Chains A and B, each alone.
Chain A
Amino acid sequence: MESLLLQQILNGTVVGSVYSLVAIGLTMIFGVMKISNFAQGDYSMAGAYVAVLVFAFLPGWLGWIGSLLAAAALIGLLGVFTEKFVFRPLLDRSTDIDIIMVSIGLFILLENLALLFFHATPRMIPDPFGGATIRLGFASTSVMRLVCLIFSFAAIALLELFLNRTKTGVAIRATSENRHAALLMGIDVNRIYGITFGMGTAMAGIGGVFYGTLFAVYPMMGVMPTLKAFIVTILGGMGNLRGAIFGGLILGVAETLGGTYISMEYKNAVGFVIIILVLLIRPSGLFGRRESL
């Protein structure tokens, strides 16, 4: 009994770390640019397909590392590209509803382009460790899942380092604090927007590789990461990076526990019930509103 509980908490933490990773990209984009990107999960889907393609040439764990790097780079570029041509023309003259609608257009477009090129058949990202498992005290898990957990947190830590220790990172934070002041200090805000969106989607791309490893890769897989990322982001407060980390872990654990002890069928409803309750009681999220990084 006790070990089942611990086991489920561990499983939830693994899934939750991936939720955090995708959500941190979303919350970063929102914090700096006030864009609610409903296509976020489709950048994850694209990242997962990058991994599938890389594995076709490079098998084993080399392929896995390669696909993480390739997903980050390519999906980041895709993000920079879409920011420039889809979001930037709208930024100055539209309401948040317009931005949401254009991102939904992007969502429909990316999803169906993937369907066009890769067809509906689900694909797997092979486990480079051959399904080996490891025992940690009461609970056991596959090496693969543990690696996902570690890499997710490594990616998040790298992002934090970048935002706090580099000049560009500080410029991103300054822009999110106050765009006009940043402009006056000589920061090229448009460049910062491009970088921010690219990094946010790169996070989604890396998260997509993990998603594809834990679940499966198919064109419609992007809906789940998008919805989970929004739930996590609202839980943690939109624009709040630390909030996104905790939000992801809370959601991951709550879902696995809900799935085990309440009902497997309604596992995906757990997150929605939590945020509807949270929004009713605390409209700014569990960790308060902090709309800058």
Chain B
Amino acid sequence: MSASASRLKAVLGIVVLIAVPWIIRDRYFLHLLITAGIFVILTSSWNLLAGFAGLLNLGHAAFYGAGAYASALLAIRLGLTPWIGLICGGLVAGVFGFLLGIPSLRLSGPYLAITTIGFAEILRMVAMNWVSLTRGSLGLYGIPPLTAIRLGPGMRIDFYSERNVYYILLLLLFATIFCFRRLTRSEFGLTLKAMREDEIAAESIGADSNRYKLTVFTISAFFAGVAGAFFAHYQRLVSPETIGLGETFTILTMTVLGGLGTLTGPILGAVLLTFLSEGLRFLEDMVKIDVRMVIYGLLLIVTMLFMRNGVMGLLTRVTDSVLSRKKG
């Protein structure tokens, strides 16, 4: 595909995304889009670690939760505007990412997996038991939404409606994906991949693997933290469940289903599973059985066994075979 054609496609996609709230005016549908968007930031940032760097972090929900709690607490206790809270949430999560990166320098595989789970579980227990700060299992409620923007006398954009929130999220998404695209195509991204394939070989040609690992952990955590802060001001309720293992496993399933180690895969997976699970909810109402998570588990196993590169890999294979048939 030529560069201009792919640019045209991108512009078309952006126009569609901007137009959606005016075409489909259903508030619930917009809510789903926002949920999917938050998951896109989470899966993309998780993919940076697991897909590109080969670091299996099973504590991603901790970064998300740290960002959510940080921004929510700053807004409730200190009256800080959520706009700055988004950045602060990211920064707090980034610090946690850096700290968790330190043990990860020497660990891999199951050792890293269990250390990151441990980190998230400890954070969840703190959120659960430091009742005077976090209200324990009740969670933080009454979190203010994003502050309204005043354009002039009588003209203001407030963020009680899904539509305006959606546009802010869209901006955030573009920024995130732009950053990740630049990052993974730069020398930094290439070095990460080289380290994933063979760490010793990468070090022997001068890659400082410790610095790279710490950096990628911090960046990944920062974006997850921003997503968490955004979620807190949108949902306006944060509970310790946000940090639970289930949340990380959902992120993992989405990313693997979409295609680990690609840029588009995690986006595709997050959107697909968010809408699939809604579709299944209607099915559940009919058959009165909770099948959603059973299907998540099956999807994860089937993807790992039969389509290792996820839906993205499948799509590429299909388009490739169509193209070659046209030629031949």
Contacts and interface: CB of A to CB of B under 8 A. Distances in A.
Contact of B294 (A113, A268, A273): A113
A115 B293 contact: yes
A105 B114 contact: no
Contacts of A231: 114, 118
Interface in A92-114: 95-98, 100-102, 104-113
Given A97-B56, A102-B300, A269 B305 contact: no
B255 to A, nearest CB: 10
B109 A100 contact: yes
Residue of A95, A105, A106, A271 contacting most chain B CB atoms (<10 Å): A105
Contacts of B119: 272, 276
Contact of B291 (A105, A116, A279): A116
Interface stretch (B35-43, B69-77, B121-129): B121-129
B13 interface: no
Interface string A229-254: 01100100010000000000000000
Interface string A218-232: 000001000100110
Residue of B108, B110, B117, B128 contacting most chain A CB atoms (<10 Å): B110
Interface stretch (B148-156, B209-217, B245-253, B264-272): B245-253
Residue of B111, B117, B121, B289 contacting most chain A CB atoms (<10 Å): B111
A110 B118 CA distance: 22
Given A36-B109, A36-B113, A104 B252 contact: yes
A113 B50 CA distance: 28
A102 B304 contact: yes
A279 B50 contact: no
Chain A contact patch, size range: 35 or more
A150 B54 CA distance: 43
B103 interface: yes
B103 A116 contact: no
B142 interface: no
A90 B114 contact: no
A133 B249 CA distance: 42
Interface in A21-44: 30, 36, 38
Residue of A98, A106, A231, A272 contacting most chain B CB atoms (<10 Å): A272
Nearest to B299: A105
A227 B114 contact: yes
B111 A106 contact: no
B289 A116 contact: yes
Interface of A: 30, 36, 38, 86, 89-90, 95-98, 100-102, 104-113, 115-116, 223, 227, 230-231, 234, 238, 265-266, 268-269, 271-273, 275-276, 279-280, 283
Given A227-B118, A269-B125, 20 more contacts: A30-B110, A36-B113, A38-B113, A86-B305, A97-B54, A100-B109, A101-B252, A105-B300, A108-B296, A109-B294, A112-B294, A230-B110, A234-B111, A265-B128, A272-B117, A273-B122, A275-B118, A276-B119, A279-B103, A280-B103
10 contacts: A38-B113, A86-B305, A105-B297, A108-B293, A108-B300, A112-B294, A115-B293, A271-B118, A272-B118, A276-B119
